Amino acid sequence: MFVSDDLQQRWWALEAKMLERFGKKPDLEAVLFLIGMQETGFIQEKISKEQKQDLMHVAVCTVLSASGYYQLSGKDDEGWPHFEQVKALPDMPMPEQENFIKDHVLLYFQQHGF
């Protein structure tokens, strides 16, 4: 499929940029973690599993907000963003879900000039 091939090429290009910048090729979870840190400004030497999950949740909501699935509803007292789901996510098998997220991650980086 051409769309998938294009997506894969664009994803590899992002991985190559991340490898060059950070010295390690990231998987999707690592990329989401980095987006979450970028969006929250949360930087700490030791991060708990729960905090990592929270950062990845912020990232998923952030990248999917570009397509109108989520909308920022505000920030809490600690400055963490909170989102509300605006429309239902499409029902799709796991491999398609991963590609759906990857496509939105690529859009996020494109919009942020990376």
With both helix axes pointing from N to C terminus, report the angle between 49-65 and 28-40 in degrees, rounded to the nearest 10: 80
With beta carbons less than 8 A apart as the criterion, state whether 39 and 58 touch: yes
Amino acid 66: pLDDT: 94
Which residues are 84's β-sheet partners? 71
Amino acid 39: pLDDT: 94
pLDDT in tens, the chain (114 residues): 445 679 999 999 999 999 999 899 999 999 999 999 999 988 888 999 999 999 999 999 999 999 999 999 999 988 899 999 999 999 999 989 999 999 999 999 999 887
Please state the domain count of the chain. 1
Structural domain including 83 reads 2-111
Amino acid 1: pLDDT: 42
pTM: 0.87
**DSSP per residue over 13-82, as a string?**
HHHHHHHHHHSS---HHHHHHHHHHHHH----SS--HHHHHHHHHHHHHHHHHTTTSEEEEEE-TT--EE
Around Cβ 62, how many Cβ atoms within 10 Å? 22
> What whole-number distance in Å separates Cα of residue 114 and Cα of residue 95?
25
